[in-house]
Amino acid sequence: MKYGDLSESILQGVGGKGNIKSVMHCATRLRFKLKDHGKADTEGLKKNPGVIMVVESGGQYQVVIGNHVAEVYQALVSQTGLGEQTEEQPESKEPLFARFIDIVSGIFTPFIGVMAASGILKGLLAVALAAGVMSDSSGTYKALTAASDGLFYFLPIILGYSAGKKFGGSPFICMTIGAALVHPVMLQAFQAEQSGAQPLHFFGIPMLLINYSSSVIPIIFASWLSCIIERLVHTRQPAAVRNFTTPLICLAVVVPLTFLLIGPIATWLSQLLANGYLFVYQLNSAVAGALAGAFWQVCVIFGLHWGLVPIMINNLSMLGQDTLLPLLMPAIFGQAGATLGVLLKTRDVRMKGIAASAFSASLFGITEPAVYGVTLPKRRPFIFGCVGGAMGAAILGFFHTTAFSFGFPGLFTFAQVVPKTGFDASVAAAFAGAIVAFSFATLATRFFATVDDPLVEAAAPAAPLTSVNPDLLSKTIISSPIGGQLLPLDQVKDETFASGLLGKGIAIKPAQGRVVSPVNGTVSSLFRSKHAIGLAADNGAEVLIHIGIDTVKLEGQYFTAHVKQDDRVSIGDLLIEFDIPAITAAGYDLTTPVIISNSEDYIDVLAASQQSQIEENAALLTLIK
């Protein structure tokens, strides 16, 4: 698996499999529930080149990775067998708000991506109607409407599944409860009652019928109660029958109780929450916008933004529209603009690569790589992004820009704020607010932020090495661990290496199946699959040799290690042998990056040879300090 090495190092960093109670992932981060946070090596994880940031919030230990988090998660699951299992236990030490954030994120995270996709599709259909491209009576429109609205219509069923898992019960029992809430028989009875028919009774008790389609809070409370009952009755029954008697009891108790009590009370709370938000928003919508735009990214940093997700979904359920989601969109464009400002100003090649990747992701609402990797470490760009977000969101608030479907704030939000009546001032305000936020953050960062330290400035093109007194420079030579054809790092068919995120260096297409030590030092890491090795040189350089692309999938086959971790090595010592014909026949690219992992400690890392071929032990890289 492509990200097996990273997942393995993260697993060690969080204290091993035995320290994990549960793990899930969202768009950019792994979210762990750990038994003991003290066993986690937070500083070590932060130094890992594959980790952007580590955040402890809401009772979760969050490892921010970036856009490839799903691949790392799958690798972690494969290595540990954890899957999506949870081990929920009462934790009285956690503050109530932290537990609330954990519950909300646990329930909504598994399907937040498809929910956002559904909302975007609804927005695009609204644009198509407003532009006259499509008719609401056409089969195409109806089919796509069903695709975009299916999740929201049957939301209680989806929530029942994820809530059941989060509360430690059977997700299928909770799904069935959700299905009962939106069953056609009950919806028809609700519609008949609205037309003046007599209310239904359950054993003589009148039922207050409600349309539960797209509802959020009732099924969460019902699932919570079902999981409690399930735990109470399951172990108290004979093993031969409890697989069907436990669900029978849960359904027979919880479904009627939901129609009689839980549903009406939860719906009342939902309306109270929606009306409460509406009251605050209507006090001064421009000020509400400025506050939302300014502090949204601060909430994201600490994982507190999950507390606002139910408000947005609840607004759509209760009111049919939401004004909170549009207010967050300028905050996204503010950080995107600040990231672009850093990209335009920095002279650090590595930072340019990080900023370019983070900028493109942030436009679509994924700002963690931009915040943790670019703007927050530089401080002023992050502040300028927040200020720009406040300015832009104030414009949207003043013109009451409204979203009509759920999604991630970002580029697609423009489609989601178009009403069925067509383009109006509120839509124009969305564009104006985004432009203001983006432009302010970009220009302020470009002209008023310090984004490079003195070492980077010294390495910049404006101050070439030839203009520096050679007596003031220290040069370190790294030998070649492999003989073969030289390639620039940016030609490696793996973005992680090609972008320079792991450090500067060069790549070699090996002519022989052996790797020797390019330095005098120690083996700092030897991966279990034997396809990569890290060396800590006596001269301070940290060297990573990664044999081939994706060769971790071979799980050590065709590789033979001649050293182990912490072994002492000298230049020319044999480290690893590998079978070139067998690996090539298996379909793998043997291009081998040789990376200086601590490149930031040097003014520059240069190729020592201008030839296209290199011999084993010949000078490969020059490190300038």
Collapsing DSSP states into helix, strand and coil, what is residue 27? coil
Written as six digits, the tokens of 482 are 């492999």
Please measure the distance between the N-terminal and C-terminal CA atoms of the chain and give it in whole angstroms.
Answer: 36
Q: Which residues of 157-176 are buried (b: 16+ CB within 10 A; e: fewer)?
A: bbbbbbbbbbbebbbebbbb
The pLDDT value given to residue 96: 65
- Residue in 422, 420, 425, 416 with CA at minimum distance from that of residue 398: 425
Sign of torsion over alpha carbons 246, 251, 253, 254: positive
The pLDDT value given to residue 457: 42
Written as six digits, the tokens of 270 are 């939902």
pLDDT at 210 exceeding the cut of 50? yes
Q: How confident is the model at residue 1 (pLDDT cuts 50, 70, 90)?
A: very low
- Residue in 262, 188, 186, 276 with CA at minimum distance from that of residue 220: 262
Higher pLDDT, residue 482 or 18: 482
The pLDDT value given to residue 89: 43
The pLDDT value given to residue 342: 92
Q: Is residue 388 classed exposed, middle or buried when 0-12, 13-18 and 19+ CB atoms within 10 A define those classes? A: buried
> In the predicted model, what is the mean pLDDT of residues 314-329?
87
Pairwise CA distance, residues 336 & 366, whole Å: 10
The pLDDT value given to residue 97: 60
Catalytic residues: 26, 546
Over the stretch 225-268, which tens digit does the pLDDT of each residue have?
999 999 899 888 887 888 889 999 999 999 999 999 988 888 78
Strand-pair partners of 549: 589
Higher pLDDT, residue 575 or 119: 575
Pairwise CA distance, residues 163 & 599, whole Å: 46
Over the stretch 354-411, which tens digit does the pLDDT of each residue have?
788 778 878 888 787 788 778 887 889 999 999 999 999 999 999 999 999 887 788 8
The phi, psi pair for 366, rounded to 5°, reads -95, 90
Pairwise CA distance, residues 325 & 568, whole Å: 57
Pairwise CA distance, residues 380 & 365, whole Å: 21
The pLDDT value given to residue 307: 66
Over the stretch 37-49, which tens digit does the pLDDT of each residue have?
889 988 888 878 7
Amino acid at 78: S
Whether 518 and 574 have beta carbons less than 8 Å apart is answered as: no
- Give the gyration radius of the chain's Cα atoms: 28
Q: How confident is the model at residue 436 (pLDDT cuts 50, 70, 90)?
A: very high
Lowest-confidence pick of 90-94, 352-356, 503-507: 90-94
Higher pLDDT, residue 527 or 141: 141
Written as six digits, the tokens of 65 are 């990775």
Angle at 134 between CA 128 and CA 136, to 5 degrees: 105
Q: Is residue 520 classed exposed, middle or buried when 0-12, 13-18 and 19+ CB atoms within 10 A define those classes? A: middle
Pairwise CA distance, residues 339 & 355, whole Å: 6
Over the stretch 216-227, which tens digit does the pLDDT of each residue have?
888 999 999 999
The pLDDT value given to residue 27: 60
* Mean pLDDT (the chain, rounded): 83
Pairwise CA distance, residues 473 & 102, whole Å: 52
Q: Please state the separation of Cα 62 from the chain's center in Å.
A: 10
Over the stretch 446-499, which tens digit does the pLDDT of each residue have?
999 887 654 344 334 433 433 444 444 567 889 999 999 998 888 888 766 777
The pLDDT value given to residue 455: 39
pLDDT at 161 exceeding the cut of 50? yes
- The DSSP-derived string for 181-197 is HT-HHHHHHHHHHHTTP
- The DSSP-derived string for 130-197 is HTTSS-TTSHHHHHHHHHHHHHHHTHHHHHHHHHHHHTTS-HHHHHHHHHHHT-HHHHHHHHHHHTTP
Pairwise CA distance, residues 51 & 57, whole Å: 17
Neighbours of 116 (CB within 10 A): 21
Whether 508 and 518 have beta carbons less than 8 Å apart is answered as: no
The pLDDT value given to residue 433: 96
Over the stretch 256-313, which tens digit does the pLDDT of each residue have?
999 999 888 887 887 787 788 888 888 999 999 999 999 888 877 665 666 677 788 8
The phi, psi pair for 5, rounded to 5°, reads -65, -45
Angle at 427 between CA 423 and CA 433, to 5 degrees: 160
Strand order from edge to edge, sheet including 475-479:
475-479, 619-624, 604-607
DSSP secondary structure code for residue 494 in this structure: -
The pLDDT value given to residue 392: 96
Q: Which residues of 16-36 are buried (b: 16+ CB within 10 A; e: fewer)?
A: eeebbebbbbbbbbbbbbbee
Lowest-confidence pick of 66-75, 83-92, 191-200, 444-453: 83-92
pLDDT at 165 exceeding the cut of 70? yes
Whether 485 and 613 have beta carbons less than 8 Å apart is answered as: yes
